[in-house]
Chains A and B, each alone.
Chain A
Amino acid sequence: MNELTKIETTLKDWETDQEVRWCPGCGDYAILKAVQRTLPQIGADPAKTVFVSGIGCSSRFPYYVESYGFHTIHGRAPAFVTGIKLANPELDVWMVTGDGDGMSIGGNHTMHLLRRNVNCQVLLFNNEIYGLTKGQYSPTSRRGTTSPTSPGGSVDRPANPCAFALGSGARFIARGYDVSKDLSDVLVAAHAHQGAAFVEIFQNCIVYNKDVFDDFTQKKVAADTQVWAIHGQPLVFGAGKDKVPTKGLARDIETMTLKVVDIVDGDWEAAGVMVHDQTNRSLAHMLVELEFGPFPMVLGVIYDDPRPTYDGAVAEQMETARAKGRGDLAGLLAKGQTWTVDGTAQDPV
């Protein structure tokens, strides 16, 4: 996308006249506000902004943002986004999807959007449940999730959206959660990234999967269970006295993985804690794969290393072709071996 002229707007400018119809207390409200807070911050132009979604609770999002919006069909938003960006690369496209929409029915399209590196922001609201269809377990539900379709507890293993995205070739991977005060910073970084920016946002489904993320989102546990990946900063967590971190992530050379180490007196260097490098793809793989529980939840911009975009490359090819001159239709129709018939016309029948 080309540099857009920054437009002055306020949060109010991004609200529509439509009544928001999520359940009271749904995490989507907080995400909507974070987005509406972010858009003025990045100088977005409502006329050039397009929100595209599939189907599900998250996919109602476009109706509530005062920009162009396209609420499409289940799982296919990435394909619509691709068509929109190829038709007009100038548009700033945000795709909103969920764990069912983006990882299940639309998993294939998500993969290809990321692999192609279409220049857009992908916000995947992960609530680990099908909300709009009344609470069936989803591809990200933890094993043992009881639901109308898994009364004895789900037995299939959950998918890991960030690992999936990275495996698909995404060049930007970030995580946040609905009520996080830092979500807006993550969105700003996603928007700044040229290419497909994948953001997994943990979102509390208050009705069907209440508080499943409390283990790391609750204020009282947050410091001990969240690592915020910040480029150039040590990967530390654990709030000791005066908020000095007590733990960090270090290389485990033996197993070529990461391990949790204790930090004494704030000296993370002595403890061997790694400094986050958002362009290190191997590190990104390790961070997204860390199992929550033995490890903290890694949030923030985990990976950000741009490559040329698909829509940019297509536009370039189109430009090269057009530079040779506009195609001559009459010439095209008469292409190849031709012959001329002369003489008087007769009815051939």
Chain B
Amino acid sequence: MANSTTPTAAEAVTVRFAGDSGDGMQLTGGQFTLSTALAGNDLATFPDFPAEIRAPQGTLFGVSAFQINFGSTAIETAGDAPDVLVAMNPAALKVNVAALKPGGLIIADSGEFSKRNLEKAKYDSNPLEDGSLAKWDLLAFDISAQTLEAVKPFGLGNKEALRCKNMWTLGLALWMFDRPREPLHDWLRAKFKNKPEIADANIAALDAGHAYGETAELSGPIKQVHVDPVASEPGLYRTITGAESVSLGLVAGAQLADLPMFFGGYPITPASAILHHLARLREFNVTTFQAEDEIAAVCAAIGASYAGQLGVTSSSGPGIALKTEAIGLGIMTELPLVIVNSQRGGPSTGLPTKTEQSDLYQAVYGRNGDAPMPVVAARSPADAFECAIEACRIAVQYMTPVMLLTDGYIANAAEPWKVPDPAAYAPFPVKFTTEKNAHDVEGNDILLAYKRDEKGARPWIKPGTPGLMHRIGGIEKDALTGNISYDPANHQHMTDARKDKVEGVEVPDQDVCLGNESGKLVLVGWGSTYGPIHQAVRRARKRGLDVSHVHVRHVWPMPKNLGALLKGFDKVLVPEMNTGQFKTVLRDQFLVDAQPLTKTSGQPFAIAEIEDAICDALGEPRPSQIGGEVEVNDTQLPSPETAAQ
């Protein structure tokens, strides 16, 4: 949609559903995502919901939104500015309308624009009537009344009947984007298997919304839009969220290591979903343990690793902080452990449901003592699968804790995923030590619990193994026996050995994911900024700018060629959702003049923000200054939160 009149065919469309946190917007978004995937479009989503489970109705802080960007070309972000905003009440409109593209379409439930709701949303007059929405197309009608009418035959109470509003809205959206209703019918019947009257009511609401679209086309600004399927690699696809992807990757990683998995967790947003997923996978030899706190979760995982399973724990920043001492013990006792950090806004409790990348220092440096630990960062929901396997591999091959970084955006967002074939991954089966591994001066067989292999890893010895009894702990250990040692030279040696081991972890060379291997400017990203950086670089390159994109998965240790690669560019720009942490690490490691591009609003980068920064760095005019070439979704946005103030 390149201009304000809605065309009948579009390359990419962004829709935002917004309503009260009790309106079922996440569910509506999720089902719309599924229908989009089934239609063969590429897509990316951004669920954005308040920390409160049921915030007071109609309030600005209780607004829950779900944004989806879908198209017939590769989609890597949830889209900057929505083309369509569905607002279920005045608060949802107020919080989200500023983000809407000029000329975009507002669909509003006028039935909810009562005096009381307008007051709650801090509107002095009704925006549907006062002309304040003139720069957008407006379609306001009483969705509530339409829904009540549609479900009348089913004899539901008023409250229950109104719960079908989201399905009515979804029905309208399905019509707008030319989607079949059958998969939704099937889903509703399955979901309300034991309450057929509720299923029927929801289906009736869905159908009514769909029918309304067909009728309204004659008179209103609403038009049907068709988005062609994306040309993607043949194969079997599904949609996946980051939390699912991490869980599956961990299961796959444990299988490739030929180990049972032990997962210790404690509920925390946005990491809990991983515990939920894994708790259902006992047949995959996954034991989950909901611990009494974050500390117990990691300690139990280390205990399980000690006993011969693959110990895994997961949390978000504040919980990771609590686990820190235990992670140090894992480093000291050189036991495998995977720690997943689904980052959120910080410090302290911060923004539990919003995304940020501000735990990078915590991951790389955040422990007492010289405590080196490998860090892997996932770039997208699908990529989290590969990264989880990689974290498992490093943990067992190098006998070390490994941190896997994702964030709130990756954890909650969904994208299409080509289902991988497990047989395509190289296994890395663990061999436990079952025999004494050395001789003393008299030639007797002895066990050296800290004798290192060529990777610098010590033997993994399961308790229960006859004849190999030994003691380990957090006090500095003798370089060979593992017995307590306070010897100064030994501590120097062991500090070096731990550092060398982690720095020696084999990681693939860094590639350039878009652009040339050298040139004027490189954007270096890590984690979930992948999508907006990639799209911004793609657009800039289309306009002839010399810019490349490098996206780092192995945050620690970094690829050996990364320093030389970055030095091949005149300028290095590091977009990240913190105050410049990775930029500082790059400067420290490679003495490159990396410049920061930072954002900490709790919202992902917009493509346009990064594209502007590229132009600024290259001394070129911004797209908005040239005019006429503004691509899809290029509007510079205030965040919805800011708009709500």
Residues of B within 8 A of A18 (CB): 471, 483-484
Q: Which residue in B234, B252, B255, B295 is a CB contact (below 8 Å) of A76?
A: B295
Interface flag for A298 (CB, 8 Å): no
Q: Which residue in B37, B293, B326, B470 is a CB contact (below 8 Å) of A73?
A: B326
Stretch at the interface among B417-425, B503-511, B600-608, B623-631: B417-425
A318-B287, A348-B232 known; A337+B34 contact, CB < 8 A:
yes
* Chain B residue at minimal CB-CB distance from A335: B238
A329–B252 touching, CB < 8 Å: yes
* Chain A residue at minimal CB-CB distance from B309: A87
A88-B463, A338-B419 known; A70+B472 contact, CB < 8 A:
yes
B289–A86 touching, CB < 8 Å: yes
B238–A83 touching, CB < 8 Å: no
Interface flag for A326 (CB, 8 Å): yes
Q: Which residue in B229, B238, B287, B300 is a CB contact (below 8 Å) of A79?
A: B300
A337–B38 touching, CB < 8 Å: yes
B325–A73 touching, CB < 8 Å: yes
Give A76 to B238 CA distance when docked, in angstroms: 41
Interface flag for B42 (CB, 8 Å): yes
Taking the nearest CB of chain A, how far is it from the CB of B482, in angstroms?
11
Interface size classification for chain A: 35 or more
Taking the nearest CB of chain B, how far is it from the CB of A131, in angstroms?
16
Contacts of B231-266 to chain A: CB distance below 8 A? 231-239, 248, 251-252, 255, 260, 262, 264
Taking the nearest CB of chain A, how far is it from the CB of B548, in angstroms?
14
A84–B469 touching, CB < 8 Å: no
Interface flag for A253 (CB, 8 Å): no
Contacts of A37-64 to chain B: CB distance below 8 A? 46-48, 50, 52, 55, 62-63
Give A329 to B285 CA distance when docked, in angstroms: 11
Interface flag for B284 (CB, 8 Å): yes
B303–A339 touching, CB < 8 Å: no
Residues of A within 8 A of B619 (CB): none
Interface flag for B153 (CB, 8 Å): no
Interface flag for B329 (CB, 8 Å): yes
Taking the nearest CB of chain A, how far is it from the CB of B5, in angstroms?
27
Interface flag for A317 (CB, 8 Å): yes
Give A70 to B538 CA distance when docked, in angstroms: 53
Taking the nearest CB of chain B, how far is it from the CB of A61, in angstroms?
10
B473–A337 touching, CB < 8 Å: no
Interface flag for A67 (CB, 8 Å): yes
Residues of B within 8 A of A325 (CB): 283
Give A348 to B465 CA distance when docked, in angstroms: 54
Residues of A within 8 A of B260 (CB): 87
Q: Which residue in A63, A108, A349 is a CB contact (below 8 Å) of B293?
A: A108
Residues of A within 8 A of B296 (CB): 76, 78-79, 82, 108-109, 112
A18-B484, A83-B301 known; A112+B231 contact, CB < 8 A:
no
Q: Which residue in A52, A81, A332 is a CB contact (below 8 Å) of B248?
A: A332
A82–B422 touching, CB < 8 Å: no
Give A339 to B416 CA distance when docked, in angstroms: 10
* Chain B residue at minimal CB-CB distance from A348: B74
Interface flag for B2 (CB, 8 Å): no
Encode contact with A along B459-487: 1 for CB under 8 Å, 0 otherwise: 00011111111111111000000011000
Q: Which residue in A52, A90, A111 is a CB contact (below 8 Å) of B464?
A: A90
Residues of A within 8 A of B285 (CB): 318, 322, 326-327
A324-B283, A341-B233, A341-B235 known; A330+B325 contact, CB < 8 A:
no
Residues of B within 8 A of A335 (CB): 238
Interface flag for B564 (CB, 8 Å): no
Taking the nearest CB of chain B, how far is it from the CB of A208, in angstroms?
21
Q: Which residue in A71, A79, A87 is a CB contact (below 8 Å) of B472?
A: A71
Taking the nearest CB of chain B, how far is it from the CB of A82, in angstroms?
5
Taking the nearest CB of chain B, how far is it from the CB of A17, in angstroms?
8
A70-B306, A87-B262, A343-B231 known; A337+B239 contact, CB < 8 A:
yes
Encode contact with A along B267-301: 1 for CB under 8 Å, 0 otherwise: 00000000000000111110101011101110111
Residues of A within 8 A of B229 (CB): 341
* Chain B residue at minimal CB-CB distance from A325: B283
Residues of A within 8 A of B236 (CB): 334, 338-340
Residues of B within 8 A of A101 (CB): none
A327-B284, A332-B248 known; A341+B473 contact, CB < 8 A:
no
Residues of A within 8 A of B287 (CB): 86-87, 314, 318
Give A73 to B368 CA distance when docked, in angstroms: 13
Residues of B within 8 A of A109 (CB): 292, 295-296, 299
A341–B40 touching, CB < 8 Å: yes
What is the interface of chain A, defined by CB distance below 8 A to chain B? 16, 18, 46-48, 50, 52, 55, 62-63, 66-73, 76, 78-84, 86-88, 90-91, 108-109, 111-112, 314, 317-318, 321-322, 324-327, 329-330, 332-346, 348-349
4 closest residue pairs by CB, A with B: A83-B303, A71-B473, A83-B300, A321-B282
What is the interface of chain B, defined by CB distance below 8 A to chain A? 34, 37-38, 40, 42, 73-74, 183, 229-239, 248, 251-252, 255, 260, 262, 264, 281-285, 287, 289, 291-293, 295-297, 299-309, 311, 325-326, 329, 333, 419-423, 462-475, 483-484, 538
Q: List 15 A-B contacts (CB under 8 A).
A: A68-B463, A69-B471, A76-B299, A80-B299, A81-B303, A87-B307, A87-B308, A88-B463, A327-B284, A330-B422, A332-B248, A332-B281, A333-B248, A337-B183, A339-B37
